[in-house]
A = this chain, B = another copy of it.
Amino acid sequence: MLSMSQRYPSALLENAVNELASLPGIGRKTALRLALYMLRRDMNYTESFASALIALRRDVKYCKVCHNICDDELCPICANPNRDHSLLCVVENVKEVMAIENTGQFRGVYHVLGGVISPMDGIGPADLRIDSLVRRVAEGGVREVILALSTTMEGDTTNFFIYRKLSGYDVKVSVIARGVSIGDEIEYADEVTLGRSIVNRTAFSLTNNP
């Protein structure tokens, strides 16, 4: 008869596999492959691997203005005087900040909510950085708030909640354009996206259309 513990010839290996497999999207087979890979590399490799993760978790800071991950009081974007601080892009997380930064098309600043309103996951408005967004707007100097959240029910709910919260202030609230992806065939676009791209059509210009 085989028990779970008999399958691993070493408790150290089993423990390492358990930890690796606790990461999201990493199964036990992949975890074993990664653990064995570490055994083939020298001790320095595992040490610098482990210390990088510990250092991130222990020393990480969040920008006191936009809540983006950073190493100082302010993130590099908020600290940059060349950015347009009157243009705020509201995103869910640091991943979206990085994706938008990679486009090179946005010169404003961000506000990282830390998630979206999701009653199913027990995440309410109070768990997000919505109050500090309203405070940034209330303090003045913000011309436009661009909502760049996912088009899910949770994202739409959060958009609506923020829109209502900001309705008393003199600020323009916009959402990023939704439409058929550049390079996509019209016939394969889903109906909702295609429908919205027709309703929200923009004036043809030689510079904006590739």
Contacts and interface: CB of A to CB of B under 8 A. Distances in A.
A56 B22 contact: no
A94 B15 contact: no
- Secondary structure class of chain A's binding surface, majority of residues: helix
B101 A6 contact: yes
A170 interface: no
Given A9-B70, A55-B15, A22 B49 contact: yes
Given A9-B97, A50-B50, A102-B2, A43 B70 contact: no
Interface stretch (A25-33, A135-143, A145-153, A189-197): A25-33
Interface string A94-107: 11011001101000
Nearest to A63: B9
Interface residues on A, range: 35 or more
A11 interface: yes
Contacts of A34: 23-26
A71 B13 CA distance: 9
Given A23-B37, A36-B94, A52 B16 contact: yes
Interface string A45-64: 11111111111111111010
A9 B55 contact: no
Interface of A: 1-2, 6-13, 15-16, 18-20, 22-26, 30, 32-39, 43, 45-61, 63, 68-71, 75-77, 93-95, 97-98, 101-102, 104
